[in-house]
Structure 1
Amino acid sequence: MTSRKLKKIFLILIGLLLLSSSFILFKNFNEDIRFITYIVNLNEKKVKFYWKDENNINFRSIENLKNWLKNNDYELAFATNGGMYKKDLSPQGLYIENFEIKNQLDTNNGKGNFYLKPNGIFYITNENEGIICTTEKFAVNKNIKFATQSGPMLVIENKIHPAFKEGSKNLNIRNGVSVLDNGNLVFVMSKKEINFYDFATYFKQLGCKNALYLDGYVSRTYLPEENWIQTDGNFGVLIGVTNNK
Structure 2
Amino acid sequence: MNRYKLTAILSLIALLAVSFAVFKSPDDRFISYITEAKNIQFFYKSQNGQNFGSIQNLKTSIESQKKKLLFATNGGMYKKDRSPQGLFIQDGKIVTRIDTATASGNFYLKPNGVFFISGNNEAQIQTTANFHFSNKIKFATQSGPMLVINGEIHPEFKKGSTNLNIRNGVGILPNVEVIFAISKKEVNFYDFAEYFKDLGCKNALYLDGFVSRMYVPEKNWVQTDGDFGVIIGVVE
Superposed pair shares fold, TM > 0.5:
yes
Give the corresponding residue for 2:195.
202
In the other structure, the counterpart of 1:41 is 36
Among candidates 111, 120, 124, match of residue 131 of structure 1: 124
Count of paired positions? 230
Runs of 5+ unmatched residues, structure 2: none
Q: RMSD of the alignment, in Å?
A: 2.0
Match of 1:182 among 144, 155, 175: 175
2:58 aligns with 65
Counterpart of 2:158 in structure 1 is: 165
Q: Distance in 1 between matches of 2:31 and 2:105?
A: 25
**What is the CA distance between 1:14 and its match in structure 2?**
4.7
Pairing partner for 2:221 from 208, 221, 228? 228
**Aligned AA for 2:156?**
A
Distance in 2, matches of 1:129 and 1:233, equals 29
Q: Percentage identity across aligned positions?
A: 57
Q: In 2, distance between residues paired with 1:214 and 1:240?
A: 14
SS in 2 for 1:213: strand
Q: CA deviation at 1:28?
A: 3.9
Q: Distance in 1 between matches of 2:181 and 2:201?
A: 12
State yes or no: 1:18 paired with 2:11.
Answer: no
Question: Which amino acid in the other structure matches residue 32 of structure 1?
Answer: D
| 1:26 CA displacement | 3.7
> 1:236, CA displacement in angstroms?
0.4
Q: Report the Cα offset of residue 25 of structure 1.
A: 4.7
Partners of 2:156 and 2:227 lie apart in 1 by 29
- Structure 2 length as normaliser, TM-score? 0.92
Alpha-carbon offset, residue 18 of structure 1: 3.3
Retained in 1: the 8 A contact 2:37–2:117?
no
Q: Which residue of 1 aligns with 2:71?
A: 78
CA distance in 1, matches of 2:91, 2:17: 44
AA in 1 matched with 2:30: F
Gaps of 5+ in 1: 1-5
Name the aligned partner's letter for residue 183 of structure 1: V
Kindly tell me: are residues 68 and 143 of structure 1, through their superposed partners in 2, closer, same or farther at Cα, counting changes over 3 Å?
A: same
**Distance change >3 Å, CA 73–CA 20, structure 1 → 2:** farther
CA deviations over 1:16-75 (Å, ceiling 9, x no partner): x938962x654444x3210001111234xx210000011111000000001101111221
**What's 2:136 paired with?**
143
The one-letter amino acid paired with 1:65 is L
Secondary structure (helix, strand or coil) at the match of 2:192 reads helix
Per the alignment, residue 56 of structure 1 pairs with 49
Q: CA deviation at 1:95?
A: 0.1
Alpha-carbon shift at residue 88 of structure 1 (Å):
0.2
Q: Summarize deviations over 1:103-135 as a string: whole Å, max 9, x none.
A: 000000111000001100000011111000000
